[in-house]
């Protein structure tokens, strides 16, 4: 039997934890069993970094605000921080990040820390003060978010250097956690499970926007690291598939990264990313329009902010 | 304008003039550096954890 890489082992654990949580959400005495499971997985040892802001918390707050109570999302934001922590640890191992927890304490201990963080998310879920139907929907959303994100991250390992593969991976690895954030935020504000589930239709466009923004930063930022896996970065894939792709390929090294970044700009890669962003924003607007939200204004404001930022960049470029 | 996401080939063809003008514009290194700096610090874009500030451990 072939041995699993450490990242594969981490994702396999996450798939198992998520699947079990989803099934447990349906059991009669689910809270007690789920708490026991979380403790067995090390939730008491978790060290989760609280964040003053993260995009997932922002989406949860937007969802809560859409149902009339933006402050209701505070408790679920802690759950999201724990999920992000667990997933990020394994993702950093997969991406071979030079500065990450696994580099500091070793991959085995980092994986145990990731499991503990995911278990902590479940344990925090146990005490969410929702009515029974909403609570079961919330636990299922947490479990689904863990399982589907892990499956999507595993797909990334088999991605090929073409756009079909690129968007396929993006749509599998990022939207599940966005969907969890939206669902938890809506439930926290008193939405019914059906209303909260409907809101997850925003997850694909919001997940794509998140990935596009990430790719711009990871291609053009000072500490850009995507040059090691350029087929997973929208800007780099655009230029590598173009007429001068082989020339760019020779520049994708740490020593020549700055030259590669200027090359990407001049080749129109950022413009293509902004084109993709605009189309995705239009899709998001259409989906928002189709949802009977009491107050879509928070999501509309987020969209408008992105449009303005991108428009300002385009003005400078052409 | 098409409402669908263009492939990279369609984008290159349909935006040929704009991309050429952009390449000329960005030959000025100061302009390119400015765009690079702004693009990598665009706060209105969501990113996975780039806008997260750890507050406690």
ipTM: 0.80
| Residue B51: closest C-alpha in chain A | A54
Asked if A60 and A184 count as a contact pair (C-beta separation under 8 A), the reply is yes
Stated pTM of the model: 0.92
Per-residue pLDDT of chain A (318 residues), as tens digits, is 556 799 999 999 999 999 999 999 999 899 999 999 999 999 998 888 777 678 899 999 999 999 999 899 999 999 999 999 999 999 999 988 888 999 999 999 999 999 999 999 999 999 999 999 999 999 999 999 999 999 999 999 889 999 999 999 999 999 999 999 999 999 999 999 999 999 999 999 999 999 998 898 889 887 777 888 999 999 999 999 998 899 999 999 988 999 999 999 999 999 999 999 999 999 999 999 999 999 999 999 989 988 888 887 777 665
Given this model, what pLDDT does residue B46 score? 65
List Cα–Cα distances, A120 to A49, A85, A115, A310, B30, in angstroms.
12, 10, 8, 38, 48
Measured between CA atoms, how close is B38 to chain A, in angstroms?
A: 7
Per DSSP bridges, beta strands A50-51 and B54-56 are: antiparallel
Can you tell me the distance from the alpha carbon of A318 to that of A308, in angstroms, rounded to the nearest whole number? 16
Across the interface, do B8 and A242 touch by the CB < 8 Å criterion? Answer: yes
Asked if A88 and A174 count as a contact pair (C-beta separation under 8 A), the reply is no
B19 chain-A contacts, CB cut-off 8 A: 267-268, 271
| Residue A85: closest C-alpha in chain B | B49
Across the interface, do A55 and B32 touch by the CB < 8 Å criterion? Answer: no
Q: Is the CB of residue B49 less than 8 Å away from at least one CB of chain A?
A: yes
Chain A segment 154-173 residues within 8 A of B by beta carbon are: 163
Across the interface, do B52 and A51 touch by the CB < 8 Å criterion? Answer: yes
Out of A50, A266, A280, name the one closest to residue B26 (CB): A266
Across the interface, do A271 and B49 touch by the CB < 8 Å criterion? Answer: no
Q: Is the CB of residue A268 less than 8 Å away from at least one CB of chain B?
A: yes
Can you tell me the distance from the alpha carbon of A185 to that of A57, in angstroms, rounded to the nearest whole number? 8
């Amino acid at each position: 039997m072939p041995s699993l890489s450490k990242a594969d082992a981490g994702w396999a654990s996450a798939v198992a934890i998520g699947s079990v949580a989803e099934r447990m959400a349906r059991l009669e005495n689910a809270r007690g069993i789920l708490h026991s499971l979380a403790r067995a997985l090390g939730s008491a040892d978790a060290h989760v970094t609280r964040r003053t802001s993260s995009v997932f918390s922002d989406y949860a707050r937007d969802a809560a605000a859409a149902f009339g109570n933006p402050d209701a999302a505070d408790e679920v934001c802690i759950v999201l921080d724990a999920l992000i922590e667990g997933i990020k640890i394994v993702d950093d191992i997969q991406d071979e990040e030079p500065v990450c927890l696994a580099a500091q304490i070793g991959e085995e201990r980092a994986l145990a820390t990731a499991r503990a963080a995911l278990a902590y998310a479940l344990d925090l879920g146990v005490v969410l003060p929702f009515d029974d139907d909403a609570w079961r929907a919330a636990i299922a959303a947490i479990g689904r978010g863990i399982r589907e994100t892990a499956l999507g991250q595993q797909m990334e390992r088999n991605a090929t250097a073409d756009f079909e593969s690129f968007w396929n991976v993006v749509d599998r690895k990022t939207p599940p956690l966005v969907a969890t954030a939206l669902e938890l935020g809506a439930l926290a504000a008193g939405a019914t499970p059906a209303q909260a589930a409907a809101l997850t239709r925003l997850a694909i466009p919001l997940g794509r926007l998140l990935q596009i923004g990430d790719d711009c930063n990871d291609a053009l930022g000072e500490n850009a690291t995507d040059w090691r896996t350029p087929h997973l970065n929208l800007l780099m894939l655009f230029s590598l598939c173009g007429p001068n792709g082989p020339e760019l390929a020779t520049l994708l090294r740490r020593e020549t990264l700055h030259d590669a970044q200027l090359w990407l700009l001049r080749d129109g890669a950022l413009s293509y990313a902004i084109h993709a962003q605009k189309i995705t924003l239009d899709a998001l607007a259409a989906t928002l329009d189709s949802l009977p939200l009491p107050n879509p204004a928070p999501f509309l404001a987020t969209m408008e902010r992105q449009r303005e930022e991108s428009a300002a960049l385009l003005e400078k470029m052409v | 304008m098409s409402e669908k996401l263009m492939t990279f080939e369609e984008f290159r063809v349909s935006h040929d003039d704009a991309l050429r003008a952009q390449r000329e514009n960005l030959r000025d290194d100061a302009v390119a550096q400015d765009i690079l700096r702004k693009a990598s610090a665009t706060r209105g874009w969501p990113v996975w954890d780039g806008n997260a500030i750890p507050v406690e451990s």
